[in-house]
Amino acid sequence: MLTELPGIDIVSVITPSGMHFEHTGEMIEAYGKHVIVEKPTFMRPEQAEQIFKLADEKDVKIFPVFQNRYNKAVKRVRQALSEGELGDIRIVSVRVRWCRPQRYYDMAPWRGTFSHDGGALTNQCIHHVDLLRHLGGEVGRVNATMRTLGADIEVEDTVVATLGYDTDAVGVLEGTTAARPDDFEASISIVGSKGLTRIGGVAVNELQVFTPDPAACAANSEDFIGIKGHGAVYGFGHSEMYADIVGHFSGQSPYPVSYADCIATLRLLHAFYRSDEAGSWVNVDSSEQSDRLGRPNEQISDLYRTPGPQGGAK
């Protein structure tokens, strides 16, 4: 397709997470295309570093996807934080209680693996890991405990963590796909020196508490259930994301998720795994990476490699 239709400008990589690095590199190296990379973008920070460097060399653009940043409730809270409505942040709390039964992991060989999927934190909670930064600022250190409680998989389906921001703020994260029998909530709460807010719903889609202006809750909440062609957790953010990509190329404004943004979220993600591996607090701003997350598995990779002369690029 890319050979026969050279007018294609952008490719979206929505393959198994552990293949994003290889497939994105192939689209840039072999075809010179701009690339949209779905969550969690890449499995390891070093992969993001290599891909963004390659994109610079080939003069193409990488567009990381964190569509929950576009939710009305998230945008309203970010505005409130930037304008001081909530004051200084004191506590940030994330709670994700979703259901992924064994049959979900059995649907494909890459699911439930450290090499190509990651567990609840990497696959399902990655948006909320990103929101810890997007709303709360940079995290300095974390202490995480992971368990596998609801499925026969090698990765975690449950994580509980505490964290300390670069400021005096602290945070907690609870995430699981072992909730039964269905998805219950994905929420983030912020306690500030001037007020409190909670974004809840099944996918951080409802502004449930906003003490500076309670009337803002209804206007900044969305119902994701029943979106045509989507499950209840995907939301409307992709439409705005694509509009931002158009805006980037038309010169209206830069795409809002930068390389620094992408790499910082990946480092925070790996810090949770490193902490569980070490059994102690770890610093987020470190070149160290998890021993487990994104480790190679050529047997699984071979199932998803592009056939033909361009396939199999490392």
pLDDT above 90: percentage of residues in the chain = 91
Beta-carbon contacts of 228 under 8 Å, excluding residues fewer than 6 positions away, are none
Q: How far apart are CA 107 and CA 122, in angstroms?
A: 18
Helices (H) and strands (E) in the chain, counts: 9, 11
Q: Answer whether residue 230 shows pLDDT above 60.
A: no
Q: Answer whether residue 4 shows pLDDT above 90.
A: yes
* 239-276 residue pLDDT tens: 999 999 999 999 999 999 999 999 999 999 999 999 99
Q: So what's the pLDDT on residue 228?
A: 57
* 161-199 residue pLDDT tens: 999 999 999 999 999 999 999 999 999 999 999 999 999
CATH of domain 67-249: 3.30.360.10
* 126-166 residue pLDDT tens: 999 999 999 999 999 999 999 999 999 999 999 999 999 99
Q: How far apart are CA 309 and CA 2, in angstroms?
A: 13
Structure tokens at 66: 């964190």
Q: So what's the pLDDT on residue 226?
A: 58
Q: So what's the pLDDT on residue 313?
A: 44
Q: So what's the pLDDT on residue 129?
A: 98
* 13-36 residue pLDDT tens: 999 999 999 999 999 999 999 999
* 51-108 residue pLDDT tens: 999 999 999 999 999 999 999 999 999 999 999 999 999 999 999 999 999 999 999 9
Q: Answer whether residue 231 shows pLDDT above 60.
A: no
Neighbours of 205 (CB within 10 A): 26
Query: Mean pLDDT for the chain?
Result: 94
Q: Please answer whether residues 48 and 17 qualify as being in contact, where contact means their C-beta atoms are separated by less than 8 angstroms.
A: no
Q: Please answer whether residues 128 and 201 qualify as being in contact, where contact means their C-beta atoms are separated by less than 8 angstroms.
A: no
Residues forming a β-bridge with 171: 92, 163
